[in-house]
Structure 1
Amino acid sequence: MSGAVRRRIAALGALSALLAGATATAKTGDARASVEPWSPARIASDQFESHPAFDPRNSDLYFVRSRPDFTGWRILMSHCGADGWSVPVEPSFAGNGVEADPWFSADGGSLYFISSRSGGPKSATAPRKDLDLWRVDRDRDGHWRTPQRLPEPVNSKGAEWFPRPAPDGWLYFGSTGRPGGLGMTDIWRARQDRRGAWTVENLGPNINTPGDEYEPLVSADGKRMVLMAGDGLYESTRTASGWSPRKKLGPQINVNGSEIGALLSPDGHSMLFARDLKNAQSGELFLWRDGRGDADWPPRCPHVAARPAHGG
Structure 2
Amino acid sequence: MSRRRHAAYVAITLGALVASSSPAAADSGTGRVTHWAPSGIVSDQYESHPAFDPLTGDLYFVRSTPQFRGWRILYSHCTPSGWSSPQDAPFAGDGVEADPWFSPDGRSVWFISNRTTDGVHREDLDIWRVERGADGHWGQPVRLPSPINSTGYEWFPRLAPDGWLYFGSDRPGGFGKTDIWRARTDGQGGWTVENAGPALNGPNDEYEALPSPNGQRLILMAENGAGDVRTLYESHKTGNGWSPRRALGPDVNATGSEIGALFSPTGKTLMFARDLHGNESGEFFVWRGGLSAASAAEEAWPAACPAPQH
TM-score normalised by structure 1 residue count: 0.86
| 1:226 partner SS | strand
**Which residue type is aligned with residue 87 of structure 2?**
V
Aligned pairs for 1:148-227 (under 5 A) are 148-176=142-170, 178-227=171-220
Paired residue for 1:262? 261
* Cα offset, 1:279, TM superposition: 4.7
Q: Deviations over 1:88-146 (max 9, x none)?
A: 101221000000000011111100000010138xxxx5631010000000112010000
State which of 280, 296, 300 in structure 1 corresponds to 2:300: 296
CA 1:264–1:9: 2 relative to 1, 3 Å: closer
Comparing 286-295 with 60-69, which one deviates more in the overlay?
286-295
Please state if 1:45 is matched with 2:29: no
SS in 2 for 1:237: strand
**Is it true that 1:282 corresponds to 2:284 in the alignment?**
no
Q: Which residue of 1 aligns with 2:65?
A: 67
For these two proteins, the number of residue pairs brought into alignment is 283
Runs of 4+ in structure 1 over 6 Å off: none
Query: Which position in structure 2 is the counterpart of 1:243?
Result: 242
Partners of 2:267 and 2:9 lie apart in 1 by 30
TM-score when normalising by structure 2: 0.86
Aligned equivalent of 2:22: none
Partners of 2:160 and 2:276 lie apart in 1 by: 30
User: Aligned residue for 2:19?
Assistant: none
Partner AA of 2:28 in structure 1: A
Match of 2:92 among 81, 87, 94: 94
Q: Which amino acid aligns with 1:226?
A: I
| Cα RMSD after superposing both structures | 2.2
Counterpart of 2:134? 140
What SS does the aligned partner of 1:285 have?
Answer: strand
CA distance in 1, matches of 2:261, 2:139: 27
Go from structure 1 to structure 2 and tell me whether the alpha carbon gap of 1:305 and 1:188 turns closer, same or farther (over 3 Å shift).
farther
Where 1:251 maps in the other structure, the secondary structure is: coil
Contact preservation (8 Å) 2:269, 2:299 = no
* Higher mean C-alpha deviation, range 286-295 or range 77-86: 286-295
Which of 107, 111, 129 does residue 123 from structure 2 map onto? 129
- Percent identical pairs in the alignment equals 59
**Contact 1:66/1:73 (8 A) holds in 2:** yes
Distance, in Å, in 2 between the alignment partners of 1:53 and 1:294 is 20
Deviates more, 1:291-300 or 1:252-261: 291-300
AA at the equivalent of 1:251: P
Per the alignment, do residues 42 and 54 of structure 1 end up closer, same or farther by CA in structure 2, a change over 3 Å counting? same
1:4/1:232 CA distance change after superposition, 3 Å: farther
SS in structure 1 at match of 2:262: strand
User: Which runs of 5 or more structure 2 residues have no equivalent in the other structure?
Assistant: 11-25, 224-229
| 2:25 counterpart of 1:26 | no
Give 1:69's aligned amino acid.
Answer: Q
Give the structure 2 partner of residue 17 of structure 1: none
Seen in structure 2, the aligned counterparts of structure 1 residues 153 and 41 have a Cα distance that, compared at 3 Å, is same
